[in-house]
Amino acid sequence: KKIAEEAEAKRLAKRQEVVNFALQFEGNPYVWGGNDLNTGVDCSGFTQQVYLNFGIRLNRTADDQRLNGRQVSVSEIKPGDLVFYGSGGYAGHVGLYIGDGKIIHASTPATGIIISNMNYRTPMQINRIVE
């Protein structure tokens, strides 16, 4: 049991590391198709580059990132999980869950990288990248 608890504590620490890394880019610009966390990213570029910092490769578009990791339910959500938004089975936007019902995401060219309530739109899917 102790080993399992230690393993879970390690995973929790890793997820929190991902969140802490992502949070330092709050306020940076949104650039469609961008791949640089400092000069500008779009939503999926943001999540891709954050995870790439930890050696984890994600697909490039929000819809393709739904194929990465493992789908979890809203009740299971943990910091570091990806939250997808869209309709008709297509995800047009993705954010990174930071805990407390909030995500950080590259929102729009006007707002850049911001923190929003996770339910600012209805999530269509949630994926765990770091088990």
Kindly name the residue from 66, 93, 102, 128 that is annotated as catalytic: 93
* Locus of tokens 């580059």: 49
Report the candidate in 72, 65, 71 with the shortest Cα–Cα distance to residue 95. 65
Report whether 18 contacts 128 (CB < 8 A).
no
Q: Is 93 a catalytic residue?
A: yes
- Whether 57 is catalytic is no
Closest to 62 in 3D by CA, of 13, 30, 105: 105
**How far, in Å, CA of 46 to CA of 30, rounded?**
9
Q: How far is the C-alpha of 128 from the C-alpha of 36, rounded, in Å? A: 23
Q: Is the dihedral of CA 115, 122, 94, 51 positive or negative?
A: positive
Catalytic-labelled residue, pool 18, 37, 43, 83: 43
| 105 in active site | yes
Choosing from 105, 107, 113, 126, which is the catalytic residue? 105
The catalytic residue positions are 43, 93, 105
